[in-house]
């Protein structure tokens, strides 16, 4: 079965499995796991921040940032289809007690002027704007890259208002590789950033939250409160080190696979693209096939390909390490056959 549902489905590589097997571990709650400490130091350096914290998931990393910056009753500015707003179970309200101020972006990028207008003035009737959240790459826009120029303008708005900026950078390394930039070209325009190890970078578990020491200290306490204090977590960190040192540059292959898939889809009558993929996510419009999402996905599954529904009349295909170029050609053949 060719699984294009998500890059979260990657299996750990042989190098990762060996590193996990050989990892030196300790109790991370006591700060005594040397492999966790090594991973966090590496991540902080790579992301250009003072400190970093290993967390169980991207959602946990995002929520720890919100909890670290905000107080109950505050408001945070988010893009209308951002992961932190759309896919995290209302956690910003359930856990931090904050409400979202939603701005509709273009391919995930918010207009800096709209962000500036959304910042609350001092008034007893208003909540305090305590955080601005960006997402890069932007999942629901098909892995679109938010430009450094856009991020810089929003960061300047935030600094003028003394509001921190957090990046949900679950796939930020995809953005850096696809745009031929350093990841710090993006992270210079934020106060904190969360990156996933368990998507295109191939680790079985984990994400990282990076920021200044004060934020990470608060996040560490919140992680403990939420049951996220881990013991011999170095087994997981060992694969994370491989992710950061060996799996970043190869993301370009996933982007090449996505472009091949997109090129072929544009030639299939009845299918169209939501937009050309910037990175490794391809969103396909299937409305002209007159099939429901469920029917289309079931037909595709019968041909040995798995994909996911992504809104009415749309499906998502995501390339990753465990999908070969040969698999992409087979997936193209399956799409042609069912259409």
- Dihedral of the alpha carbons of 280, 286, 287, 290, in degrees to the nearest 10: -170
**pLDDT confidence of residue 211:** 98
* Burial classification of residue 90, based on how many CB atoms lie within 10 Å of its CB (0-12 exposed, 13-18 middle, 19 or more buried): exposed
pTM of structure: 0.96
In this prediction, the residues of the chain whose per-residue pLDDT falls under 50 are none
**pLDDT confidence of residue 203:** 97
**pLDDT confidence of residue 330:** 98
**pLDDT confidence of residue 125:** 97
Distance CA 110, CA 100 (A): 14
- Dihedral of the alpha carbons of 198, 200, 201, 204, in degrees to the nearest 10: 30
**pLDDT confidence of residue 52:** 98
Distance CA 202, CA 206 (A): 10
* Cα separations in angstroms, 231 against 19, 60, 227, 305, 326: 18, 17, 11, 38, 41
- Dihedral of the alpha carbons of 273, 183, 211, 110, in degrees to the nearest 10: -40
108: left (phi over 0), alpha (psi -120 to 50) or beta: left
Domains, in order of start, for the chain: 8-246 (3.40.640.10), 250-338 (3.90.1150.10)
**pLDDT confidence of residue 75:** 98
Tokens, residue 149: 């120029």
Distance CA 116, CA 103 (A): 11
**pLDDT confidence of residue 142:** 96
**pLDDT confidence of residue 58:** 97
């Amino acid at each position: 079965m060719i699984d294009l549902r998500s890059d979260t489905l990657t299996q750990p590589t042989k190098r990762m499995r060996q590193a996990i097997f050989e990892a030196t571990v300790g109790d991370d709650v006591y700060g005594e796991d040397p492999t966790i400490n090594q991973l966090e130091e590496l991540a902080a350096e790579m992301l250009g921040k003072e400190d970093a914290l290993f967390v169980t998931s991207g959602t946990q990393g995002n929520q720890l940032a919100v909890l670290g910056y905000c107080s109950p009753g505050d408001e945070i500015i988010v893009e209308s289809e951002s992961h932190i707003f759309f896919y995290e179970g209302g956690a910003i309200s359930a856990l931090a007690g904050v409400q979202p101020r939603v701005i509709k972006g273009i391919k995930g990028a918010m207009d800096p002027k709209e962000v500036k207008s959304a910042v609350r003035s001092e008034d007893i009737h208003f909540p305090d704007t305590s955080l601005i959240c960006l997402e890069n790459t932007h999942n629901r826009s098909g892995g679109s890259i938010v430009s450094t120029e856009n991020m810089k303008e929003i960061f300047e708005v935030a600094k003028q208002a003394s509001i921190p900026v957090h990046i949900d950078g679950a796939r930020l390394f995809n953005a850096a590789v696809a745009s031929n930039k350093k990841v710090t070209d993006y992270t210079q325009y934020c106060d904190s950033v969360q990156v996933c190890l368990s998507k295109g970078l191939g680790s079985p578990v984990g994400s990282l939250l990076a920021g200044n020491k004060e934020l990470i200290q608060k996040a560490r306490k919140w992680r403990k409160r939420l049951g996220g204090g881990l013991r011999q977590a170095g087994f997981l960190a060992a694969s994370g080190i491989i992710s950061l040192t060996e799996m970043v540059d190869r993301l370009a292959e996933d982007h090449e696979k996505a472009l091949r898939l997109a090129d072929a889809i544009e030639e299939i009558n009845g299918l169209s693209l939501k937009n050309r993929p910037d990175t490794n996510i391809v969103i396909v419009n299937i409305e002209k096939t007159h099939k429901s999402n469920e029917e289309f996905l079931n037909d595709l599954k019968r041909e040995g390909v798995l994909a996911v529904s992504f809104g009415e009349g749309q499906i998502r295909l995501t390339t990753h390490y465990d999908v070969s170029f040969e698999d992409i050609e087979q997936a193209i053949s399956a799409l042609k056959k069912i259409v």
